[in-house]
Amino acid sequence: MTGRGNGSPAPSEDSLSCGRCGRPFPAPELDRLLWCDECVATARATARKAGWLAGTGLAAAFALWIALVQQPSRLVMGGWVGAVLATWWLGGRIGRELCFGVLRFRGRPR
Ligand SMILES: [Zn+2]
């Protein structure tokens, strides 16, 4: 968003190679872990998918446990549905952050 438009990117001493794909970029275009925008976007997309899967799996397991073990009556069904949705949302978020963290960590060269 910011930090752009201050001169044209010229290949010079302050150009660094991306920690993931290895392509050279001007230093300001790389982030903290020296990843280019494209690599960060790719990792984000992968993490989003993995997080969504993790959340869905977790919510499905939780729903199964509720159905088999709790066997809720109609009266409290709404609460359980809410709990499953919360698990799905939270599990998805946590899964995504975890996956993104792992991707970022493993992507570091040495
Ligand atoms: Zn890259």
- The rounded Å distance from CA 47 to ligand 1 centre is 16
- The rounded Å distance from CA 91 to ligand 1 centre is 28
pLDDT at 13: 66
Render each residue's pLDDT in the chain as its tens digit; 110 residues.
554 555 555 455 679 999 999 999 999 999 999 999 999 999 999 999 999 999 999 999 999 999 999 998 988 999 999 999 999 999 999 999 999 999 998 875 54
- The rounded Å distance from CA 99 to ligand 1 centre is 18
Kindly state the DSSP code that residue 25 receives in the 8-state scheme. E
- The rounded Å distance from CA 84 to ligand 1 centre is 37
Q: State the pTM of this model.
A: 0.72
Q: Where are the domains of the chain?
A: 37-106
pLDDT at 58: 96
φ, ψ for residue 6, nearest 5 deg: -100, 70
Which long-range CB contacts under 8 A does 61-67 form with residues at least 24 apart? 62/87
